[in-house]
Amino acid sequence: MNEVLLRSLTPSVLGILVRRGADFAAAEDAVQDALAEAVRVWPGDRPRDPKGWLVTVAWRRFLDAARADTARRRREDLVDEEPVPGPASAVDDTVQLYFLCAHPSLTPSSAVALTLRAVGGLTTRQIAQAYLVPEATMAQRISRAKRTVAGVRFDRPGDVATVLRVLYLVFNEGYSGDVDLAAEAIRLTRQLAAAIDHPEVAGLLALMLLHHARRAARVAPGGSLVPLAEQDRGRWDTESIAEGVEILQAALARDRLGEFQAQAAVAALHADAPTAEETDWVQIVEWYDELARLTGSPVVRLNRAVAVGQADGPGAGLAALAELDDSLPRYAAVAAYLHERDGDHATAARLYAEAARKAPDLAERDHLTRQAARLNARRSSR
């Protein structure tokens, strides 16, 4: 059973049902039923036209549900005649489906859940496991999301930037349960890149590939985080790096710079350095300047302070940091790092401990606690 094939066909099959007159929520349920039937039937009887098979089965499931629901008899005019099974329509509504699932009326968590189910073809159980919530909770979230977009016209232009933010949220969830969300986000972004010619889509795909390439080196065997400078670069995925750089270069050549292209450029400079000491921090600062201009994000300026500290010395980094609000997430961790590089180990240890208390997850908390303990032990030994 080729699960990747099934997932890749999901958005186009769903689009065909909606174009035929099915409302989005009912069509999505029917497609999920068809996917479950494919999992049961295909291993012993693989169809010649997988997409056409899914369309036929999903449409029949939709018809059965519509006819059985007396409260929806007004649909009978739409579904009176069942289309004769045959080759699926060549019209591809994949892009419109991405736009619908990332509609501005949805909360970020609802947009992510709906995208994974309607575009990604994941089951509610798989999505719930990935986000560590009960299946019933995720089912309610998806149902509410479908009701929210029920009246949205399927052919209305959407916002690419919103779709990309949703996909990036999926990517940053990483791995949990039996679904690798980082890999799923890359697959969905590849699918979007094949359907729409947009440099920021390419920029996000490049960024994901470049970050994902470092995944194997990011965590030690015991589960502790390994900082970028200490990672074994021999464990980085060179094929993903090469692909990411190639995609990024093609996007940058179009001279329509966006924030994901700029982030990918920073990631590419890290990936290109044979050792941490050979990293081109001057160029990285320049890319962070571009990112700050594009986004105005204080988090970007926080990361820029680290890069300035590497390019021009810790004193310059601390000066850049002083311009920012100290309530920013990870401000204390950045301050600790720069103070340590500046030789002020007492302040650095105190700030590492403060950062550990504010850390958003256990792995980061443990890492920062070890950093504080390391500096305190060094001071005690003296």
- Report pLDDT digits (tens) over 168-205: 999 987 655 567 889 999 999 999 999 899 999 999 99
Residues 142 and 114 sit within 8 Å (Cβ to Cβ): yes
Q: Would you state the pLDDT for residue 66?
A: 82
Helix, strand, or coil (residue 42): coil
In this structure, what token pair is assigned to residue 357?
């208390």
Q: Would you state the pLDDT for residue 364?
A: 93
Residue 92 pLDDT exceeds 70: no
Strand partners, 219: 225
Same domain, 55 and 102: no
Helix, strand, or coil (residue 262): helix
Query: DSSP string covering 52-72, please?
Result: HHHHHHHHHHHHHHHHH-GGG
In this structure, what token pair is assigned to residue 377?
């032990």
User: Which range of residues forms the domain containing residue 36?
Assistant: 3-91
pLDDT tens readout for residues 302-356: 999 999 999 999 999 999 999 999 999 999 999 999 999 999 999 999 999 999 9
Decide which of 173, 204, 219 is a domain's last residue.
173
Question: What is the count of structural domains for the chain?
Answer: 2
Cα Dmax for the chain: 86
In this structure, what token pair is assigned to residue 60?
């029949």
Cα(60)–Cα(66) distance, integer angstroms: 10
Backbone φ and ψ of 89, nearest 5°:
-60, 145
In Å, how far are 55, 119, 234 from 202, measured between CA atoms?
30, 18, 26
Same domain, 58 and 70: yes
What's the pTM value of the predicted model, to 2 decimals? 0.84
Decide which of 173, 196, 218 is a domain's last residue.
173
Residues 257 and 294 sit within 8 Å (Cβ to Cβ): yes
Residue 70 pLDDT exceeds 70: no
Decide which of 173, 191, 206 is a domain's last residue.
173
CATH code, 133: 1.10.10
Same domain, 27 and 87: yes
